[in-house]
A and B are shown apart, each in its own frame.
Chain A
Amino acid sequence: MKQTVYFFLIGVLLGIIFIKSEVASWFRIYEMFQFKSFHMYGIIGSAVVLGMIIIKFLKVSGIKDINGKKISIEPKSKGFTRYILGGIIFGLGWALAGACPGPMYVLLSSGFVSILVLIAGAVLGTLVYGLLKNKLPH
């Protein structure tokens, strides 16, 4: 129960960041792919650099998580095709929708009803991938 509250609060923080940083704005995504602003690159870049330091620190220090387990991130399975093809398909959608999955949820609070269609499309896409999974090159 207590942990549920923590997860909820982490979400609240993330929701506020998505809006205040404007990464959930279609216009910022457009501007990023037009290379007209450093804003998005700065956000992703600084998050990744700090993230590397955080993960290195957690691994080296051996700090345990809240449940007393060792902190580790299981590596993604090896491969190339699925990552490049899946990535390109995702990128096409990201640029057109102007939103990736996290920001999609936050936009539910924007008052635009059409976001429901966007999310329905994303759920449908996930479903179709699940159905076609064994027929796709990975």
Chain B
Amino acid sequence: MNLMEYIYNTWAWYVSGPLIACVLYFLLIMGKKFGMSSNLKTFCAIGGAGQLSNFFKFDWKANTWNLWVVAGIIVGGFIAFQFLTPYAPQIHEDAVMQLKEYGINSVNTSFLPLELFGIENLFSLRGLLILLISGFLVGFGARYAGGCTSGHAISGLSNIQWPSLIAVIGFFIGGLVMIHLIFPIIF
């Protein structure tokens, strides 16, 4: 296999995980901390939410660096989608069969399920609600817990913080409940 084939294929965990640790290192060297959900709070502050709650009264300009990270993420995503990713993720055959039973047939052919993210979902109440509610839970939960996967699971656990371990246990309880108990109801 030549180099380009390695890049085009899924990057193995033992490549991706260490690369994420490199990002953590770069941000620490830059005097910052890896945390992606803080940007959502910054968006609220920029939008004037400081008038509604003191929670959003802070100097958001001090977080501009993180917005530049987000801008980079969007550009990096564009590069990856356009030039580096000719194949859709291939997941375990058991998971493929379960998803097909749920009517999610775009598995192994698309990066995201068309059944949930396709444009027609914006014109159905059910589709719209799933998108809005799932986003809402992510935003609300991340602030309530004081961090998300990057802040708690990666930074927090790396720094051996108990609160982060509790939060990550919470992440998994919530995720398992959604997939094993709620998915069979909504799909």
Q: Is the CB of A114 within 8 A of B121?
A: yes
Q: Is the CB of B175 within 8 A of A106?
A: no
B37 interface hit (Cβ, 8 Å): yes
Q: Is the CB of A90 within 8 A of B77?
A: no
Q: Is the CB of B19 within 8 A of A13?
A: yes
Whose C-beta in chain A lies nearest to the C-beta of B7? A20
Q: Is the CB of A4 within 8 A of B76?
A: no
Chain B 134-152 per-residue mask, 1 if CB under 8 angstroms from chain A, else 0: 1111111111111111101
Whose C-beta in chain B lies nearest to the C-beta of A42? B13
A117 interface hit (Cβ, 8 Å): yes
Q: Is the CB of A113 within 8 A of B122?
A: yes
Q: Is the CB of B28 within 8 A of A130?
A: no
Whose C-beta in chain A lies nearest to the C-beta of B87? A22
Q: Is the CB of B72 within 8 A of A115?
A: no
Q: Is the CB of B174 within 8 A of A65?
A: no
Q: Is the CB of B31 within 8 A of A69?
A: yes
Complex Cα distance A91/B41, Å?
19
Known: A17-B19, A90-B138, A126-B143. A12 touches B73 (CB 8 A): yes
Complex Cα distance A30/B50, Å?
36
Q: Is the CB of A124 within 8 A of B139?
A: yes
Q: Is the CB of B18 within 8 A of A90?
A: no
Complex Cα distance A44/B175, Å?
15
Complex Cα distance A26/B131, Å?
12
Whose C-beta in chain B lies nearest to the C-beta of A23? B16
**Chain B binding site: helix, strand, loop or mixed by DSSP?**
helix
Interface size of B in residues (CB-CB distance below 8 Å): 125
A62 interface hit (Cβ, 8 Å): no
Q: Is the CB of A120 within 8 A of B113?
A: no
- Residue of B10, B21, B116, B179 near A22 (CB, 8 A) is B10
Whose C-beta in chain B lies nearest to the C-beta of A29? B175
What is the CB-to-nearest-CB distance from B87 to chain A, in angstroms, rounded to a whole number?
Answer: 10
B contact residues around A79 at 8 Å (CB): 163
- Residue of B13, B71, B77 near A38 (CB, 8 A) is B13
Chain A 2-31 per-residue mask, 1 if CB under 8 angstroms from chain B, else 0: 011011111111111111111111111111
- Which residues of chain B in 18-51 are interfacial with respect to chain A, using CB atoms and an 8 Å cutoff? 18-33, 36-37, 39-41, 43-44, 47, 49
Q: Is the CB of B53 within 8 A of A130?
A: yes
Whose C-beta in chain B lies nearest to the C-beta of A129? B143
Chain A 106-136 per-residue mask, 1 if CB under 8 angstroms from chain B, else 0: 1111111111011111111111111101001
Known: A90-B141, A126-B41. A118 touches B85 (CB 8 A): no
| Known pairs A50-B21, A90-B138 / 8 extra A-B pairs, C-beta < 8 Å | A27-B107, A28-B91, A31-B95, A75-B163, A89-B170, A93-B140, A101-B36, A126-B44
Chain A positions near chain B (C-beta within 8 angstroms): 3-4, 6-34, 36-48, 50-52, 54-55, 58, 63, 65-67, 69, 71, 73, 75-80, 82-102, 104-115, 117-131, 133, 136
